[in-house]
Every structure is written in structure tokens, then in C-alpha cells.
Structure 1
Amino acid sequence: MRVRDSGMPEEEFWESLFDVPLILDRLGINHLGTGRFHDVAELGCGYGTFTVPIAQAITGKLYTFDIDPAMLVRTRERGQGLSIECQERDVVQHGFGVEVDAVLLFNILHCESPVDLLRHAAGALRPGGEVLIIHWQHGETPRGPSLDIRPRPKQIAEWATVAGLATASEPIDLPPWHYGMVCKHEG
């Protein structure tokens, strides 16, 4: 299922919209050797913008899912030699199909069924696992979904609760255009 108001701009422009090292540091992913995450699942690999540095930072395998074969091809090219498994899969319809320490939902919770997606993410977590979320700030940004479907942190926290996740962080500032949140499985 395609997420409403989605689509990818050119790779160079897309990558200019993120401070990837800052985002990974503030979400606690860039701590090499800490063992915080072994296996990670990512929904929507895009060009591999986050896939490759995350695969370099974790101690296990990164499973990345996308419905666009071209995005999977590009991510495979960029991630050669890393422990990355790219799968064409509609996670909204079929779940993740893996068990991991963290699930990444980056710029995707403007989908039509965010609670269902968060439930699938919770279902993929090992005990103590986390769902790491980033989304576009609510306001004028150079990209992102229309403001009427762009979730605010409070809305994501409410959806997470309904999905059986506990919000483990206040919104995290991820300049220049994003915020982040960390949720844990309550079970």
C-alpha cells in the first residue's frame, strides 16, 4: 500500500533534508559497540539514507522493507557488504514478519492506518524493544505531507498507546525539519 502524500524527490535533494548523524545520535542509534540494538527493521528504505549508517551502527542485521522495487535496488547498491536484507513487502497489510530489537518508522505515520502500523511494529519487537519514530515538524517545511495529515507528537503518543506502546520520550528535536519519539512495548 502506498502511503498517502508520499513519493520520493531526487536523491540529492532528499538527502539534503536530514542531518543523519544528529538524528541517529539523538535516537541513540549511533553508539557503536554499545549493543543497544542487534537486529533492526526499517519501513520504507527510500534511497538507503538511514539504512546504510544504521546497518553500520548495529551489531546484527537490518531488515528493510519497501513497496518500491527501485528503492530496494538503490539501497542494495549502497549497502553492499553490510548485513542488510531488503524485502519488497506491504507491511501495512502483512506485518514485518521478523523479530527485532527496534523498528524504525521514519516519515511514515501520515499513512491511513497509523495505529495498525504501530501495532505491526509492536508485534515485531523482542522484549524491551523500541519503536523509533521521526516525522516532519508541523509547519512550513521543504517537503512532507500536507499539514492536515501530518501528525503532531501528541497524536503519535495517543496512537502508540492504543497500539500497546508506551511513549518513552518527550519529542526529540531533530533539526532542521523533524522531531523524533521513542516508544516501548508495554507487554
Structure 2
Amino acid sequence: MAGIRFNPKDADKLTSTERKELIPSNKVVEMLDLSLNDTVADLGAGNGYFTLPIAKGMEKTVYAVDIEPKMLRMLKEDAVEEQIDNINYVVSDLENIQLDKGLVNKALIAFVIHEVPNMDKALSEIKRILKPGGQILLLEWEAVETEMGPPLHERITSEKMGELLRENGFDVEVTHLNPSIYAIKATTG
């Protein structure tokens, strides 16, 4: 399942017009069902395509977690430019998330889970940082051939991802944004 990590040199692809049309950030943020008092982690935040719109509507800190410091620097530059000051930047992989236990009640994991070498460890860590009853929104590429996204052999089907989440103690609801992208809302028990 684990693929090759995204290269920061390609960061402009994350905000391309084509990607914005395929994956509208406002629609994804709506799916999180955020309230002003939620504490949110964007796991695999990259250059902030989702982090910035989430942080704009929040009073509390939003945790932008990414393994790549260059991506977090890009995000920080954009946040400063947009005068957003409620983002905490955390350099971390998803198998050993550098956040306290029970810190957040919502987490977004968008298009990065297929890159994780140990899925069970990552899902255990995600569960650890969530408050009881916490919710994740996981977005991934369906295992279908498309021009955008990772190669087909690196993709995880929505069925398989749902199974992995259930095996790790999550209640799961699967939907599709379009034929090539699925969204899973998963809640801790």
C-alpha cells in the first residue's frame, strides 16, 4: 500500500485549477461539519489547500501536520499573507504523530494515507490523538485509472479502506465526491 512520498517540487499541482474543480476545498470543509470550538488536525497538510480554509473559520488552533518541512514552510508563508494566525505547524509522519493524546475532535486526512508504510500503526495514532467520539474525514483516490493522482497500484479501494478503519475500531460512512475520489467519515466508538 505504501507509495512514494509526494515531492514538494510538485506543490503547485496541489492548487492547480483542474484539482480545484475536481476537489473543491469548500465542499470538503463542509463535510467536516465544523463548529467554532472544534480542535482540528489536518494530517498530511501539505501546502495548506485544506488547512487555510479550515483555519479561517475557526477560533481554536488548527494543527497542520506534515512529514515535509518544505510543505509546512509554504503553508506558513500563505497563512502569513492571508493573516491567519491560528495554525500550529507540526513536522511529523502519521505513524508517530507528534500531538498529545485526545487533543483533537476532528481530523482531515486527504490523499496521503496511501503513502503510509504501516497503516495499522497510523490508524492507531490517529485514533490516539482524537477525543472520545472524535471524527476523521479521509479522502483518497479510488482504485480507478485517472490522469491525476498516484499510480493505480498505489491506490486503496474505498471498500478496503472502510474495512481497515472498521478493523481499527471506527464506525464508517463511505461516500464519493466523484467517480475517482471517495470520502470516508469515521468516528471513534
Confirm or deny that 1:89 pairs with 2:92: yes
Confirm or deny that 1:178 pairs with 2:181: yes
Query: Is the contact between residue 43 and residue 64 of structure 1 (CA under 8 Å) also seen in structure 2?
Result: yes
Tell me how many residue pairs correspond in the alignment: 176
Distance in 2 separating the partners of 1:158 and 1:59: 34
1:136: how far off?
1.1
Correspondence for 2:118: 113
Confirm or deny that 1:104 pairs with 2:93: no
1:160: how far off?
0.8
2:32 to 17, 22, 28: 28
Structure 1, gaps ≥5 residues long: none
Distance in 1 separating the partners of 2:175 and 2:98: 26
Distance in 2 separating the partners of 1:85 and 1:130: 20
Residue correspondence of structure 1 range 15-54 to structure 2 within 5 A: 15-16=15-16, 17=19, 18-25=23-30, 27-29=31-33, 34-35=35-36, 38-54=38-54
Distance in 1 separating the partners of 2:154 and 2:13: 23
RMSD of aligned alpha carbons: 2.0
Query: If the length of structure 2 is used for normalisation, what is the TM-score?
Result: 0.83
Change (3 A) 1:61 1:164: same
Of 146-155 and 121-130, deviating more is 146-155
Query: If the length of structure 1 is used for normalisation, what is the TM-score?
Result: 0.84
1:67: how far off?
1.8
1:134 to 124, 134, 139: 139
